[in-house]
Structure 1
Amino acid sequence: MATRKPAARKPAVRKPRAKQCPACKGTGEVAVTVHVGRKRRLVGQQTGLCLGCFGTGEALQA
């Protein structure tokens, strides 16, 4: 019996990588300073969802 040639494969197509969001630097979270009291003294930071990329860490296409 004759040997078969392997079927030719199509080259793999890679998706272009999305750029990182400049606001959160790809983490998906941003920190906001928290002020309290009448004199508005600084007490710390609170993390939240990045509104620039909605937490994905990838820059949205404009």
Structure 2
Amino acid sequence: MAARKTSRPAKTAPPKCPDCQGDGETTETVRVGARKGRETGDRQAALCLTCFGTGTAPS
């Protein structure tokens, strides 16, 4: 008897996170002040809370 070949589906890349577009980081506006939290023109990098920095979409 001949050996039977089985086909396997090709591995696809996991989908990217919709919030950070696969980077794992987002940018946040820097706020200054105790009560009103005045916005400054500066931005800082923050960890994406949707994917926790992995860059892949949560399943």
User: How many residues are treated as equivalent by the alignment?
Assistant: 55
The structure with the larger Rg is: 1
Among 24, 30, 54, the alignment partner of 2:26 is 30
TM-score under structure 2 length normalisation? 0.69
The Cα of 1:42 is off from its aligned counterpart by 1.4
The residue correspondences of 1:12-23 to structure 2 (distance < 5 A) are: 13-23=9-19
Runs of 5+ unmatched residues, structure 2: none
**After alignment, is 18-27 or 31-40 more displaced?**
31-40
| Residue 42 (structure 2) aligns with | 44
Q: Does 1:57 align with 2:55?
A: yes
Q: What code does the residue aligned with 1:37 have?
A: G
TM-score under structure 1 length normalisation? 0.66
- 2:29·2:39 contact (CA, 8 Å) conserved in 1? no
